[in-house]
């Protein structure tokens, strides 16, 4: 646990009692603060009470009197589309509003660090897609390199729940736009921006607000190194804004598909090869084509981001290459879950929208595509130009018939259930093909979440393959 510093003997309100809220409450108590806890959900309140916490009804008009700060969970709106009523009252009263990320950055450095040979460092990753894979990959590379490391944030443990860092440790944090938008302190040593595509626009008042929320990771505290994906104009703009010209090697530009040779420091992947360039010279190259845990151009971008972050921490290219080959991938994200008779089975249940499914469909040459679920606005018509590699589609769930009308001349079969889709795809697949679950839809028609959908696919594949 990271005890929260700066609030000893003061009252701090905590709104939202999920994973991060309860971790915040414990960390505040450990730092000597009095935490006033509340959640709108009776179930969440009951769970907190079962763990021994006492509650304070923050909806009362006087509940924030004498409170030093209000700490809110990421899922609770603080500005758009409208502030939560308790947050609105805090804003009216001038009570500082923060989140666990802000508390972490004001608290994790302690006088104990004076005894360390190497101060701990924080690597923070944000972006629209690839955050989790990049975060897990950096953590994995550091482990292979023998560096002490912990992973937290939007993946794994809550940031205040981690152990106090030891000498030379690297804490790797995945941060969503909800987290970067509100944190009052953001001082990473290395900050990574993967990419940007429309998401959470209601929470940020449009694309401009969404980009601004991400950009705070780079502008609020100023990292020593910034790793920026420049495949979209927003990334190029961000790199330009924080750099002092193309030769400024504090900014490491990364790309999947574009040569970046004219910069002080860059890492890019083309035709399956990752290249590192510094001051006009190639420093290293890695063949990514046989890295099974990172298939496709989108994962090659993740590899570039992780490589750049770890190089900025002094990890040798050969160690990074070794770690890339031993990285198994994250569950439900281009995850290889089985092979049989030359056919690979890949679980990308996290591909819940068209953009994510598009990346998965471009990762393999011959695909038996399992898609469907609860379709989103616009359906999957935008995927038509990317279906050239699809040998056949096997459509499931609520939107199966709608999807069938939107995929043009692509051969397809209405399977309805995962059980039938996996069985039919496995029966018809030929050596060299990939059976790919990339639903391009939400899971809520048949499953409580995308994880359960992916677990169902994985279990049925392993029953077939004996895995």
Q: What residue numbers does the annotated binding site for ATP cover?
A: 127-133
Residue 26's closest CA among 122, 103, 78? 103
Nearest to 380 by CA among 367, 366, 370, 391: 370
d(CA 219, CA 109): 20
Q: How far apart are CA 254 and CA 275, in angstroms?
A: 10
Q: Please tell me the distance from the alpha carbon of residue 401 to that of residue 334, in angstroms, as a whole number.
A: 25
| Helix, strand, coil content of the chain in percent (nearest 5) | 35, 20, 40
Tokens found for residue 60? 């009362």
What does the alpha-carbon distance between residue 251 and residue 271 come to, in Å, rounded to a whole number? 24
C-alpha closest to that of 172 among 145, 191, 144: 191
Cβ neighbours, 10 Å, residue 53: 18
Given a contact cutoff of 8 angstroms between Cβ atoms, the answer to whether 361 and 386 are in contact is: yes
Whole-angstrom distance, CA of residue 22 vs CA of residue 176:
19
Cis peptide before 35 (omega within 30 of 0): no
The encoded tokens of residue 459 equal 């279990």
d(CA 139, CA 148): 9
Walk across the sheet containing 273-278 and list its strands.
Answer: 149-153, 170-174, 121-126, 190-193, 225-229, 251-256, 265-270, 273-278, 281-287
Antiparallel, parallel or unpaired: β 11-15 and 34-38? parallel
Residues β-bridged to residue 69: 12
CB contact burial 298-327 (16+ within 10 A = b; e otherwise): bbbbbbbbbbbbbbbbebebebbbebbeeb
Q: Which residues contact 283 (CB under 8 A, 6 or more apart)?
A: 276, 277, 317
Which one, of 299, 425, 435, lies nearest residue 366 by Cα?
435
Q: How many CB atoms lie within 10 A of CB 343?
A: 21
Residues making up the binding site: 127-133
Cα 62 to the chain's mean position, in Å? 38
In eight-state DSSP terms, residue 366 is S
């Amino acid at each position: 646990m990271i005890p929260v510093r700066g609030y000893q003997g003061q009252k701090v309100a905590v709104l939202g009692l999920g994973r991060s809220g309860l971790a915040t409450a414990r960390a505040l108590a450990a730092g000597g603060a009095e935490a006033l806890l509340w959640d709108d959900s009776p179930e969440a309140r009951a769970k907190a009470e079962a763990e021994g916490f006492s509650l304070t009804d923050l909806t009362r008009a006087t509940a924030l009197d004498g409170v030093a700060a209000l700490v809110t969970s990421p899922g609770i709106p603080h500005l758009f589309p409208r502030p939560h009523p308790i947050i609105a009252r805090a804003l009216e009263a001038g009570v500082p509003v923060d989140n666990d990320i802000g508390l972490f950055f004001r608290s994790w450095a302690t006088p104990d660090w004076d005894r360390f040979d190497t101060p701990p460092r924080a690597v923070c990753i944000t972006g629209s897609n690839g955050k989790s894979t990049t975060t897990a990959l950096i953590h994995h590379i550091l482990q292979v390199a023998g560096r002490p490391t912990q992973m937290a944030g939007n993946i794994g443990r809550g940031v205040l729940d981690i152990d106090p860092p030891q000498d030379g440790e690297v804490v790797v944090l995945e941060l969503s736009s909800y987290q970067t938008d509100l944190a009052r302190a953001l001082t990473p040593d290395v900050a990574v921006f993967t990419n940007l595509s429309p998401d959470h626009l209601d929470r940020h008042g449009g694309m401009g607000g969404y980009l601004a929320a991400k950009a705070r990771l780079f502008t609020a505290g100023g990292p020593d190194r910034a790793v920026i994906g420049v495949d979209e104009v927003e990334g190029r703009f961000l790199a330009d804004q924080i750099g002092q010209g193309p030769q400024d090697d504090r900014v490491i530009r990364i790309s999947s598909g574009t040569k970046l040779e004219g910069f002080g420091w860059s890492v890019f992947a083309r035709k399956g090869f990752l290249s590192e360039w510094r001051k006009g010279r190639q420093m290293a190259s890695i063949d990514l084509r046989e890295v099974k845990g990172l298939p496709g151009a989108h994962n090659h971008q993740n590899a570039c981001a992780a490589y750049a972050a770890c190089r900025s921490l002094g990890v040798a290219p050969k160690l990074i290459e070794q770690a890339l080959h031993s990285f198994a991938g994250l569950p439900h994200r281009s995850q290889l879950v089985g092979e049989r008779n030359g056919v690979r089975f890949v679980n990308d249940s996290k591909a819940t929208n068209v953009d994510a499914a598009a990346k998965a469909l471009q990762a393999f040459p011959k695909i038996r595509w399992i898609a469907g679920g609860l379709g989103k606005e616009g359906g999957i018509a935008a995927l038509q130009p990317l279906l050239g590699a699809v040998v056949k589609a096997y459509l499931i769930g609520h939107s199966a018939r709608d999807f069938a009308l939107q995929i043009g001349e692509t051969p397809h079969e209405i399977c309805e259930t995962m059980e039938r889709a996996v069985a039919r795809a496995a029966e018809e697949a030929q050596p060299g093909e990939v059976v790919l679950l990339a639903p391009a839809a939400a899971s809520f028609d048949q499953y409580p979440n995308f994880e359960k959908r992916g677990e169902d696919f994985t279990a049925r594949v392993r029953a077939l393959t004996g895995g």
